[in-house]
Amino acid sequence: MKHEEHPMRKYLRPNKKMPTIWCSGCGIGIFVQSLVRAIDRIGYSKDDVVMVSGIGCSSRIPIYLDFNTLHTTHGRALTFATGVKLARPHLKVITIMGDGDAVAIGGNHLIHAAKRNVEISAFVINNHVYGMTGGQCSPTTPYGLKTTTSPYGNREAAFDVARVVEAAGAAFVGRATVYHTPLLDRLTEAALRKKGFAMVEVIAQCVTYSGRWMGLASPAEMMTWQRDNSVRVERAKEMSETELAGKMVIGVLTDRERPTYNEEYNELLAEESKV
């Protein structure tokens, strides 16, 4: 029988040993597929793609992918990405961060990258928990959830990552779950194509920790939870706050035109050279 290569195989590093470090049933892999499919559809040259990540389970993604890849420090991927994009603007810069990574330790970098509108496509993989370190409470952990660092229940409200980034000025903000794969594909492609800072919050299951804490025993149960607790943005507009409580609004949350940092900077250079 002829062995047929997976169409996305070309984006995996030929010299990186498998398997990945992710647990079976982890939601990250679904996003990785969505990401390479979007890159493939757009047709970027692999040499022109720079993938920058922070620290955490999802930040291991770039290791396996055959691009210029940079695995940085916890929370600070966007600062490195900003340097790359400004130094060599023709490169397509993508950052991948987790929820603790992007929103807790990297929260300030996240809002500043959005404010500057640097042309970076940022993906925040939100599994509601610190997975790599053992299931501790994160800024997106739902209120009341018991984790290893909130053994009596989390008494803080969860961050709405998408709304924070939107308020900070991002040109594009979307949210999808890995259950809603066609939507995830569309948002990922839109974020990659967007001129300006584009952020997609990707809700993904951590079967080992958050699933356990939420009493959802299997990947299938977790994805069912994603389905049952998501509301399309179009429908959400017709719902009351009470109806939306505890629900995740998914879809394109913001899509606007703003001059990018590179455009502003080029304008500054042009004006300076006239003087």
Closest separation in Å from C-beta 56 to another protein: 13
CB nearer to another protein: pick between 70 and 190: 70
**Helix or strand (DSSP H, E) at 37:** helix 28-42
Residue with tokens 């023709």: 90
CA 249 to chain CA mean position, Å: 16
Residues near 27 by Cβ (< 8 Å), separated by ≥ 6? 125, 127, 178, 202, 203, 204, 205, 206, 219, 222, 223
Q: Is 269 in the site for another protein (CB under 8 A)?
A: yes
Q: Is 95 in the site for another protein (CB under 8 A)?
A: no
CB nearer to another protein: pick between 43 and 182: 43
CB nearer to another protein: pick between 1 and 87: 87
CB nearer to another protein: pick between 115 and 146: 115
Closest separation in Å from C-beta 262 to another protein: 9
Instruction: Quote the CA–CA distance of 226 and 246 in Å, as a whole number.
Output: 11
User: Tokens representing 36?
Assistant: 């390479």
Task: Write each residue from 27 to 66 as x if it is in contact with another protein (CB under 8 A), else as -, in one continuous string.
Answer: -------------------xxx-x-x---------xx--x
Q: Is 267 in the site for another protein (CB under 8 A)?
A: no
Instruction: Quote the CA–CA distance of 53 and 151 in Å, as a whole number.
Output: 30
Stretch that binds another protein, among 15-23, 131-139, 223-231, 242-250 (CB under 8 A): 15-23
Residue of 1, 18, 87, 245 that binds another protein (CB under 8 A): 87
**Helix or strand (DSSP H, E) at 98:** strand 92-98
Task: Tell me which residues in 99-158 interact with another protein (CB under 8 A).
Answer: 108-109, 112
> Cα 247–249–254 angle (5° rounding)?
155
CB nearer to another protein: pick between 44 and 229: 44
CB count, 10 Å around CB of 190?
Answer: 17
Q: Is 68 in the site for another protein (CB under 8 A)?
A: yes
Q: Is 24 in the site for another protein (CB under 8 A)?
A: no
CB nearer to another protein: pick between 27 and 62: 62
- Number of residues interacting with another protein: please give it, by CB under 8 A: 39
Q: What are phi and psi of 260, to 5 degrees?
A: -80, 165
Closest separation in Å from C-beta 264 to another protein: 11
- Render 230-275 in DSSP notation, one character per residue: EEEHHHHTTS-HHHHTTPEEEEEEEE-----HHHHHHHHHHHHHH-
Q: Among candidates 62, 45, 89, 20, which has minimal Cα distance to 266?
A: 89
Residue of 58, 79, 117, 126 that binds another protein (CB under 8 A): 79
Closest separation in Å from C-beta 110 to another protein: 10
Residues near another protein (CB under 8 A) are 13, 15-17, 46-48, 50, 52, 62-63, 66-73, 76, 79-88, 90-91, 108-109, 112, 265, 268-269, 272
